[in-house]
Structure 1
Amino acid sequence: MDALIHLFVGLHIVGIAALLGGFLTQMKAMGRGTARFVPGMLHGALTMLVTGAVLVGLNQAGDHHVNNVKIGLKLALLIVILVLVYVKRDEEKVDKGLFGLVGLLTTANIFIAVLWT
């Protein structure tokens, strides 16, 4: 069971890397006001959603402690990110504030995962 959990943690990290990497590659464009949500950002967020749900299930099945408040907050942030990226995915330009919000929420999600024990 632990090997399966580690596999999904790795996939979860790949998802967050795709989301954050897509944001970081568009930062220069954000400065010019021409940033857009690239497909990798949507795929990364969806990967995070699926692998996160699987991780919660695997941890509960293995009688590991699951902090439901932490998971709920991370899920809420991820849903906001997913909605923003999905709705604005076809636009040529995204507002700087909206684009920055996705980066901020993604970073917050990372720090919640790492620092909240």
Structure 2
Amino acid sequence: MDVLINVFVGLHIIGIASLLGGFLTQMKAMGAGTARFTPAMLHGALTMLVTGVLLVGFNEMNDGALNHVKIGVKLVVLVAILGLVYVKRDEERVAKGAFAAVGLLTVLNIFIAVLWT
């Protein structure tokens, strides 16, 4: 079970890398007001959602100690990110505030995962 959990942790990290990488590549465009949400950002957020839910299930089956409050907060932040990206995915230009919010929420989700013990 540990190997399966580690594989999905890796996939979860790939999802966050896709989401954050998509944001970082659009930062210059955000300054110019021409930023848009890329498909990589949407797919990264969806990958994070699916792998995160599966990780919770795998850890529950493995009798792992889980912090359900932390998981709930991370889920709420991810749903906010996913909602913004999904609703605005077809727009040619996304408002700077909405685009910056996705970047800040992504970084917040990373820091929650790493620092909340």
TM-score category of the 2 structures, normalised to the smaller one: over 0.9
Q: 1:17 aligned to 2:22?
A: no
CA RMSD between the two structures = 0.3
Name the CA distance, whole Å, in 2 between partners of 1:73 and 1:52.
12
Shift of 1:62: 0.3
Q: How do 1:83-98 residues align onto structure 2 when only pairs under 5 Å count?
A: 83-98=83-98
Letter in 2 for 1:75: L
Task: Give me the TM-score of the superposition, normalised by structure 2.
Answer: 0.99
- Following TM superposition, the consecutive aligned residue runs of length 4 or more in structure 1 with deviations greater than 4 angstroms are none
Name the CA distance, whole Å, in 1 between partners of 2:14 and 2:78.
15
1:104 alignment counterpart? 104
Structure 1, unmatched stretches of 5+, are: none
Identical-residue share of aligned pairs (%): 74
Name the CA distance, whole Å, in 2 between partners of 1:4 and 1:116.
23
Task: Give me the TM-score of the superposition, normalised by structure 1.
Answer: 0.99
SS at match of 1:35: coil
Name the CA distance, whole Å, in 2 between partners of 1:66 and 1:37.
32
Name the CA distance, whole Å, in 2 between partners of 1:64 and 1:82.
27
Q: How do 1:27-38 residues align onto structure 2 when only pairs under 5 Å count?
A: 27-38=27-38
